[in-house]
Amino acid sequence: MNAYREQFSLDPRVAYLNHGSFGAVPKIVAQAQREFQMLEESNPNLFFRTTLPKLHDEARAFVAEWLGTTPELFAFVPNASQGVITAASALVTKPRSQIVATSLGYGGVLNGLAEIARRTQSTLRIAEVDFATGAQTAEDIADSVFAALTNETTLVVLDQITSETALLLPIDQIVRTIRRVSPHARVVIDAAHAPGMLTPALPADFDVWVGNFHKWICAPRASAGLVCRTSEIASQMMPLAPSWDFEAGFPKSFFSQGTDDYSSYLATPHAIRFHESLRANQLDDHNRRVVNEAAEMLQTHWGTEQVVPTEISCPWMRLVQLPLKKQLTKPECDALTLKISQDLKTETVIVPPGDATYVRLSAFIYNEPTDYEKLKLIDLNS
């Protein structure tokens, strides 16, 4: 068994191949979280009134420095989806604005943007990225976004790494196009999968960036961060539920969201230290090797081809097409995902982007290529 597997609480009877969805918390990080929770329970009144604000500021400063920003431009948020919708809500304030997103955006975020557009009588334009015959090139994706832009574009939401399709979007190239074509548009980056996988996590240019720490950094759930590029953008950020210290502005207005369990935020620096203990090069080399070997093995077994060009492949996730004559529906994909879990004791996810059906592979430090052998046994005839 992989030497790192015992550092996690994962069921040893299960092949866990879906780190990308919900992460996995190392035992040492989970213990740090429990210690914060015990401190809270030993004197809740003292903790929330006196101890928590100081601990929260320390954790926020640590994570901000690790990301390469300042505490004044960084706030914790529960997850990337909520952070992106929070930023979009703060930036789309005028009626009849124009919002642009891509067809490969995260479904929950697209739902949120559609609701913002409805409430503000704005327009949501979707840049169609054709996944029907395989992923396009970086230039094709940039051209698709370009086609959706106009002089009236107010906000553009881009995925640094797409969730369902595991694409590494050419963010720098796309943002340069946005600045040229729609110079007044704000750019929000949905970086749900970036922290821990990409170095640096922050792209060269953006207005608001939101990334999860409870995926590849292995922080306790839920923990994510919202970064503003400038103090001007920060002055516009408002939490979805204004509460105590709202008048203090960003980032303090994002802290006092009522009585809650803040231990996942407080333990995030411990997760970052664990991540760094794996040595970035060793971790990256391992994960790339494992996901590449697993994908090649399954493609050979099923007689299918690589659908995503190497230059825009997500480093630690990969789609492998299933040899099915008919594309599965979303409910059928969910049913097959559950059947694989129950029958093969293997956790993965089946997705139907474009006109085909795929298994989305994830690889992390506790995985080895042999873990993916069980997927050869998927019953594709049921």
**pLDDT tens digits, 278-290:** 976 799 999 999 9
Q: How many CB atoms lie within 10 A of CB 45?
A: 7
Q: At residue 159, what are phi and psi to the nearest 5 degrees? A: -90, 130
Q: Is the pLDDT score of 85 beyond 60?
A: yes
Q: How confident is the model over 333-349, as pLDDT tens digits?
A: 999 999 999 999 999 99
Q: Is residue 319 part of a domain?
A: yes
Q: How confident is the model over 189-199, as pLDDT tens digits?
A: 999 999 999 99
Domain range for 309: 5-17+279-377
Q: How confident is the model over 231-244, as pLDDT tens digits?
A: 999 999 999 888 88
Q: How confident is the model at residue 200 (pLDDT cuts 50, 70, 90)?
A: very high
Q: Which two tokens stand for residue 223?
A: 């923990």
Do 229 and 341 reside in the same domain of the chain? no
pTM: 0.94
Q: How confident is the model over 249-267, as pLDDT tens digits?
A: 899 999 987 788 999 999 9
Q: Is residue 124 part of a domain?
A: yes
pLDDT value of position 285: 94
pLDDT value of position 1: 60
Give the Cα separation of 375 and 123 in Å (integer): 43
Burial 250-277 (b: 16+ CB within 10 A, else e): bbbbbbbbeeeebbbbbbbbbbbebbee
Strands of the sheet with 208-212, listed across from one edge:
74-77, 224-228, 208-212, 186-191, 153-159, 98-102, 123-127
Instruction: Please provide the DSSP assignment of 85-146 as one string.
Output: HHHHHHH--STT-EEEEETTS-HHHHHHHHHHHHHTT-EEEEE----BTB---HHHHHHHHH
Q: Which of 217, 245, 274 is the last residue of a domain?
A: 274
- The stretch 44-72 carries a mean pLDDT of 97
Q: Is the pLDDT score of 134 beyond 90?
A: no
Do 340 and 267 reside in the same domain of the chain? no
Evaluate the CA torsion angle 323, 329, 330, 336 in order and state its sign: negative
Q: Is the pLDDT score of 141 beyond 80?
A: yes
Q: 155 with 88: CB under 8 angstroms?
A: yes
Q: Is residue 23 part of a domain?
A: no
